[in-house]
A and B are shown apart, each in its own frame.
Chain A
Amino acid sequence: MSLGDELRYLRAFHGGIHLQQIEAQAGLKPGTIRSIEQRYRRTGEDDEVLAKIAAVYGVPLERLQFHRERYRKALSAVLQRALETGATARFELRTGETLAGRVCWWDLGAFGLEPEGGGPLIVVQRHAVVDWPMSEPSG
């Protein structure tokens, strides 16, 4: 899950609080959080900014730093590699489950996963994926 997805999750968790409200509470420039939430590339380089956001949501800074490394384009790269190699890939979801299987397709919103143990195709929402192995998927 990217930092943007995590911030949106936290925002939803806090009753869908408005961006301007968080920015005002954190003392950030308008548009700062919006740009982080919507970016596909790695973002949120400034730890000072992240610390302010973390304080508003009441979460540790490390949690946001963890998601900073799992930006959307990084997941795209993993999915593409898994698609090309046909290797089994594993994805940890926000629900606590781990799904493993062969990636059949991926787009910007979701990806199709053929489960390792058989069964119908699972359409996994990208924003639900918390973590994935950063190394090559196993073949």
Chain B
Amino acid sequence: MPEDLRTLRERKKLSLNQLASKSGISIATLIEYEKGEREIPPADLRRLAKPLFANEWDINPRSTPPPSPPARPERPAGPPRPPRPREEKPPQEKRPPRPPAPARSTQIAHLLALAARFNVDRAALEAEIGKPLEELTLKEARFWNGQFMRRIVEERPPKQAIDRRRAYLPEGIDGFELAYLQAQQEAGVLLHFTLFDGQTFEGTVAGFGPYQITIREAGGDEITLNKLAIAYYRKAGGAA
């Protein structure tokens, strides 16, 4: 005989919060199910059955609505309350607007430091602002500091295109060599490699990894050279 969700939940001594977190169904939805306002869809029945240690068919998809609470007994009508006398407040005097807060000394110091980066001295800065720095307000100082910060960001050189990451082993291909090899590979340039033991190889770069370079020789053979074995390499045709 299927039971209502609330009955089953209370029998299993689970709070609404616990059941919600275990089943993944929101508390608001559970309340609607328990009140019988919504029918529990089969998918949710499956989700509820597990935390309740029950089968899907043990849960009544449409719970019986709980009995409405007994109506409150009506109060006997008493004499009407007299309206509260309104307290008249004295008219408030309008406060004069506060004078703007002066700039902090740290703001001025920061502004001077920023201006110095552009070779702007105090006199030139004051001329640009149009008043002595001591007369700057907090907001004005903030504005001028922001102006200089924006100039710094705008004039900052673009980040280095090469992402420098240290290879696990010291001989690994790092940023500049990576860019060089990529350029040579794309251009199909013939490279001349000299190894530690004096052996030399010539070929175009077929591919490379962090610790190896594979070259394609004139005959079409591919050879993989360990970076650790290479002493140096250059474009073919020049003497070292």
Contacts and interface: CB of A to CB of B under 8 A. Distances in A.
Contact of A106 (B171, B176, B233): B176
Nearest to B198: A95
A38 B172 CA distance: 12
Nearest to A5: B170
B174 A110 contact: yes
Contact of A107 (B164, B196, B227): B164
Contacts of B194: 95
Given A38-B169, A127-B171, A128-B196, A109 B177 contact: yes
A125 B174 contact: no
Contacts of B232: 93, 99, 122-125, 128
Contacts of A121: 180, 234-235
Interface string A102-117: 0001111111100100
Nearest to A94: B196
A57 interface: no
Interface in A55-105: 72, 93-95, 97, 99, 105
B240 to A, nearest CB: 6
Interface residues of A, number: 33
B115 interface: no
A122 B172 CA distance: 17
Contacts of B177: 107, 109-110, 123
B234 A127 contact: no
B65 to A, nearest CB: 72
B240 A99 contact: yes
Contacts of B234: 119-123
B129 interface: no
A17 interface: no
Interface residues of B, number: 28
Contacts of A124: 231-232
A95 B175 CA distance: 25
Contacts of A125: 171, 227, 230-232
A120 B238 contact: yes
Given A8-B228, A115-B240, A119-B239, A109 B171 contact: yes
Nearest to B233: A123
B240 A4 contact: no
A120 B231 contact: no
A28 interface: no
B237 interface: yes
Interface of A: 2, 4-5, 8-9, 12, 38, 40, 72, 93-95, 97, 99, 105-112, 115, 119-128
Given A121-B234, A123-B234, 7 more contacts: A4-B170, A95-B194, A119-B238, A121-B180, A121-B235, A125-B227, A127-B228
27 contacts: A2-B170, A5-B170, A8-B228, A95-B194, A95-B198, A97-B231, A106-B176, A107-B177, A108-B166, A108-B170, A108-B174, A109-B173, A112-B176, A119-B234, A120-B238, A121-B180, A122-B232, A122-B240, A123-B232, A124-B232, A125-B231, A126-B170, A127-B170, A127-B171, A128-B230, A128-B231, A128-B232
